[in-house]
Structure 1
Amino acid sequence: METDSPLPKSFVQSLEDVLEPNEIPSFLASLQEEPVTSVRLNPFKPLAGFEETLPVPWCPEASLLRSRPSFTLDPLFHAGAYYVQEASSTFLSHVLSALSVPKDAVFLDLCAAPGGKSTLLASYLGKQGILVANEVISSRAQVLKENIVKWGIGNTVVTQNDASHFEPLKGLFDLVLVDAPCSGEGMFRKDPNAIAEWSPDHVTHCAVRQRRILDEVGALPKAGGYLVYATCTYNSRENEENIRFLAEEFSFEPVQIPVPAEWGIVESHIKTDAGDFFGYRFFPHMVAGEGFFISVMKRASTATIATPKMQKEFRHPHLKRINGKLLADELAKQVPSVEESSFYALGGAYFLFPKEFQPTFEFIANHLNLRYMGIALGEMNHNSWIPSHEWALSILPKHRVSKVDVSLDQALSFLRKETFPLEQAPSGWVLVTYLGHALGWVKNLGSRINNYYPKEWRIRMD
């Protein structure tokens, strides 16, 4: 098909495999339009919302914004009250709802950075389940950790592992999300670098890498559990062909997700020897979002189910299980019910994790490289207790701490890690809030205010 598009000719030709010929001009024209900005609210940090928004039909917590504000200069963004997430990818919310996955479940987000889908999964599980959010690249794992901390639910374990490291965890997960690294065709409108990096060879490279990942993790969902495969690309090599591979190599059953026609999502039927599987493709000329593909498969009832049991002793090279009843008074003030939580020490730092998932967490901890878990509460330093920034941003109750709600200018000074006047603040540790949402700690020493906002998180924009 001949066009005047600045896109690679071979990419335009490949569209004929996934679009009707008469649709291609509309698709190419949509790539010249401004991308739509969308946000998803944190249901555990209530927020009135944004002005002038439109709903995302497949995700109740998500909205389309009529214009893009400066999120960097919004303290509520730093407080984890919302996440800036591409609208198409929030379709995962509809998938979870359609499947009615139990909330007291164990989820895995294998390729999780920067954390959009992880925070969505964590929100779905709430206080009833746990999520393993994994990222193999160290720098990206750090970004993932920061976003999990800001979200604040405390039901997540952040790990940094290759897919091959998960082999001992076969049959553990109720749902495994593989949001695979891909050629990024769906990001062409938002990211010009994606166009520059695209080539048929790059597509081949991505497809091979995706298949290697899927081969490593195809057995991780337990019997009756789900594997959700997603990419932000259009071509069938990285999408349908990988679903065929999974169907051939592992015992999965097809799952069809109900999708109203007015949503503009294109369903594809993927023929395999095990039956027809289903994929859902998002095109920017049909939906208010970017390019996306997702497919859902159900693990056969004959597959493995791993059920970790509580061990009398927890042997780990770095973590130490501790008795919550023996914690220092300062730590006890931060926890509404010591009996409902398990506690761990890492050096001088203390962490909290939901007690009902303690056997599962310790099983995971003995096989994976941990970057973060639960909620960091604080640490002892020369017999003085220093509350953590992670606890400040968590959804744990904070009835027994001093708080001061600040203005926008003060909030931005705090987020820049500047010193600023804080009149009538009580002495000692004070939780800084903005519109009721926690931002972090300062310590009032009387003669001065020390700002404890993490140095590496500070904003530099004026």
Structure 2
Amino acid sequence: MIHLPEAFCERMRGLLGDQYGEFIASYDRDRVQGLRLNGLKTAGPESSPRDLARKIEQEAGFELQPIPWVRDGFYYREEDRPGKHPYHEAGAYYIQEPSAMAVVELMDPVPGDRVLDLCAAPGGKTTHIASRLKGKGFLLSNEIHPARAKILSQNVERMGVQNAVVTNEAPERLAPRFPEFFDKIVVDAPCSGEGMFRKDPQAADQWSPDHVAMCAARQGDILDQAAGMLKPGGRMVYSTCTFAPEENEGTVLHFLERHPDFEVEAVEGYEGFDCGKPRWAGVDPETEPGGQLARTFRIFPHRLEGEGHYMAVLKKKGEAPETAEFWAGPRMAVRKQMELLKDFADFCRENLAEAEWLADQDSYVLFGDQLYLTPREMPEMAGLKVVRPGLHLGTLKKNRFEPSHALALALRPEQARISLRLKPQEGPVLRYLKGETLDLNSLEGGLTSNGAGKGWVLVCAGDYSLGWAKLTGQIFKNHYPKGLRWV
């Protein structure tokens, strides 16, 4: 039994009234667990999320049930352990708490949008946004803590995201650089984490009313910075994983008082998220001026199968401006140094069946000997802490180009001249993930060669790319990164 702070219980009793008993009883139940299919890897022109889930069920042996409020989200059983499956390493899905998936559903990003995920680690919402952008548009994914920014960058890589830039900055450093730049913003704010008590009992031990107040003040500051980066007519989703009204309705109410150019947008189809429009600090959302707080959403664990979340969709008043070209400035003079890209061009011609990477040479950036493909709308980032300026293509070495693991994860099997499709739960794929050399003679099929008999091979778990190997004769030399190898 989780020990819940008495002050927390008293507040929840007042907030929920006759539903309090059901709420407390939810802590005696097992927590629910979910995964979200990666639309960048699993989407097919004629496949629904349910069809794709069935395919993964059959190939991985999972049992998946749809999460009602997200079209590509599914509950899984604890015994399935999807985090220990090759499909996880291939980025076929992202393990994410079910209620957290609602945030991007409410924001509804579409291909071509410019989107900011301001408090992005570990990357659940960023990778969800990226799957909806489908490689078109610009995604800035930011995290203020360096260690968490590194984890965020790793998840962006694993999910095969091409059009995201990862930064490690404070919101007040970003705001002057992106005035009214973004169509949509997510602020999944640092909070007191009350919705995580069942998942992490230590969070309950660290809870205090003072911590709630501190979080509420910090959330207001973050929202103020985000407000200036949103275009007129743009949409910002504010969310927390706490039940504290001071951090939820209170933060939104004070934000609206400071920013009369914003209003809470009514979003249809999510009525099951609220919980009787609970009162906050004497303010009844039904009678509050404009009734705006009644348009915000809550997920409670006794009402829905999720740990807990609060969400408000904030619309900036005014008309959205015409999208103008936003030239990013000089790209490290790559045009004047095309000889540096010759080895990369040779690699593409010899190893890729589709070499569309060569179509936009202004989007290449070279950091030392590391080559990146940056999003076309990436603005000048000089002076900012950029963890990942786009898709890492690989390393320019003397007279050769060595592709990155990120490039492998961003490719589909048919985009490589040689691909090796390994069955997802059998010995060869597990040996590959452990860093072992593979012998072609010991494999039963799976090798597809499009006019090439040697060179770089895209190794896949089923239909999903895992990494590189180098084929010489009958031997696949393993290039799976040492830091990722299974023990």
The equivalent of 1:247 in structure 2 is: 256
Q: Take 1:93 and 1:306, find their aligned partners in 2: how far apart are those partners? A: 22
> In the TM superposition, what is the alpha-carbon distance from 1:71 to its structure 2 partner?
2.8
Residue 114 of structure 1, CA deviation: 0.7
Q: What residue number does 2:26 align with?
A: 30
Q: Structure 2: give runs of 5+ residues left out of the alignment.
A: 43-51, 278-284, 448-452
1:144 to 147, 152, 168: 152
Q: Answer yes or no: is the 8 Å Cα contact 1:223–1:301 preserved in 2.
A: yes
Question: Given the two structures, how large is their TM-score scaled by the length of structure 1?
Answer: 0.88
**Matched length:** 443
* Alignment partners' CA distance in 2, 1:337 and 1:394: 12
Q: Deviations over 1:259-293 (max 9, x none)?
A: 355x4543743876676243211111111111111
Tell me how large the CA RMSD over aligned residues is: 2.7
* TM-score normalised per structure 2: 0.83
Cα shift at 1:415: 1.9
Q: In 2, distance between residues paired with 1:306 and 1:368?
A: 24
Q: CA deviation at 1:325?
A: 7.4
Aligned to 1:372: 388
Structure with bigger strand share is: 1
Give the whole-Å Cα distance in 1 for the aligned partners of 2:110 and 2:460: 34
Which amino acid in structure 2 is aligned with residue 432 of structure 1? V
Which residue does the alignment assign to 1:9? 6
CA offsets 1:68-122 (integer angstroms, 9 cap, x no match): 422343000110000111111111243134xxx5531100001101111111111
1:310 counterpart residue number: 327
Letter of the 1:345 partner, please give it: L
Give, in angstroms, the shift of residue 177 of structure 1: 0.5
Q: Distance in 1 between matches of 2:106 and 2:154?
A: 26
Are residues 459 and 18 of structure 1, via their aligned partners in 2, closer, same or farther at CA, if it must alter by over 3 Å?
farther
Aligned to 1:418: 436
**Aligned match for 1:208, one of 217, 237, 243:** 217
Identity of aligned residues (%): 33
How far apart are the structure 1 equivalents of 2:382 and 2:291? Answer: 38
The reply on whether 1:298 has 2:315 as its aligned counterpart is yes
Does residue 1:160 correspond to 2:168, yes or no?
Answer: yes
Return the offset for 1:136: 1.1
- 1:280 alignment partner, one of 294, 297, 300: 297
- Does the Cα contact within 8 Å between 2:83 and 2:95 map onto a contact in 1? no
Q: Aligned partner of 1:417: which letter?
A: G
Distance 1:398 1:270 in 2: 55
Is 2:97 the counterpart of 1:79? no
Please list the CA deviations of residues 341-363 of structure 1 after superposition, one character each: whole Å capped at 9, or x if unmatched.
62221212222234xxx3x3033
Moved more, 118-127 or 87-96: 87-96
1:70 & 1:5 partners in 2: Cα distance?
A: 24
**Residues of 2 paired with 1:152 and 1:271: CA distance?**
47
Task: Give, as a single letter, the amino acid of the residue that structure 2 aligns with 1:43.
Answer: G
| 1:427–1:271 Cα change, 3 Å | farther
Q: Equivalent residue for 2:281?
A: none
Letter of the aligned partner of 1:389 in structure 2? H
Distance 1:189-1:320 versus aligned 2 partners, 3 A rule: farther
Aligned equivalents of 2:70, 2:234: Cα separation in 1: 22
Moved more, 447-456 or 130-139: 447-456
Determine if contact 1:218/1:246 at 8 Å carries over to the other structure. no
Aligned partner of 1:61 in structure 2 is 72
Match 1:170 to one of 179, 186, 191: 179
Q: Give the Cα separation in 1 of the matches to 2:179 and 2:165.
A: 17
Q: Do the aligned residues in 1 keep the contact of 2:114 with 2:181 (CA within 8 Å)?
A: yes
The alpha-carbon deviation at position 172 of structure 1 amounts to 0.4
CA apart distance, 1:212: 2.1
1:363-385 deviation digits (Å, cap 9, x = unpaired): 3x235321113322222212122
2:280 corresponds to which residue? none
Q: 1:378–1:388: 8 Å Cα contact kept in structure 2?
A: yes
Judge which range, 114-123 or 64-73, deviates more: 64-73
Q: Secondary structure at the match of 1:386?
A: strand
1:40-439 maps to which residues of 2 (within 5 A)?
A: 40-46=36-42, 47=52, 48-50=55-57, 51-97=62-108, 102-168=110-176, 169-250=178-259, 251-261=261-271, 263=272, 265-266=274-275, 268=277, 269=285, 276-277=292-293, 278-301=295-318, 309-310=326-327, 313-314=329-330, 321-322=334-335, 327-328=341-342, 329-333=345-349, 334=352, 335-336=355-356, 338-340=358-360, 342-354=363-375, 358=376, 360-363=377-380, 365-366=381-382, 368-395=384-411, 398-407=414-423, 408-423=426-441, 427-439=454-466
User: Which is richer in helix?
Assistant: 2
> Residue 295 and residue 409 in structure 1: after superposition, are their counterparts in 2 closer, same or farther (change >3 A)?
same
Cα distance change of structure 1 residues 67 and 309 upon mapping to structure 2, 3 Å threshold: closer
The residue matched to 2:356 in structure 1 has which SS? Answer: coil
Contact 1:110 1:134 (C-alpha < 8 Å) held by counterparts? yes
Q: Distance in 2 between matches of 1:402 and 1:102?
A: 33
- For the 8 Å contact 1:44–1:395, the answer to whether it is kept is no
Asked if structure 2 preserves the Cα contact closer than 8 Å seen for 1:161 and 1:368, the reply is yes
User: Which is further off, 213-222 or 332-341?
Assistant: 332-341
Greater shift after overlay, 79-88 or 52-61?
A: 52-61
The code of the aligned residue for 2:315 comes to: K
- Displacement of 1:434 after TM fit? 1.2
- The alpha carbon displacement at 1:396 in A equals 5.8
Counterpart contact for 1:414–1:453, Cα < 8 Å: yes
Moved more, 175-184 or 277-286: 277-286
Q: Which runs of 5+ in 1 are unaligned?
A: none
Sort the Cα spacing of 1:197 and 1:381 in 2 relative to 1 into closer, same or farther, 3 A.
same
The range that moved more, 194-203 or 178-187, is: 194-203
Contact 2:107–2:235 under 8 Å retained in 1: no
Q: Can you list the C-alpha shifts for 1:37-59, whole angstroms capped at 9, x where unaligned?
A: 11110122224233432211111
> Given the alignment, which residue of 458, 461, 467 partners 1:440?
467
SS at 2:296 equivalent? strand
1:411–1:378: structure 2 CA closer, same or farther, 3 Å change rule?
A: same
Is 1:171–1:303's contact at 8 Å kept on the other side of the alignment? no
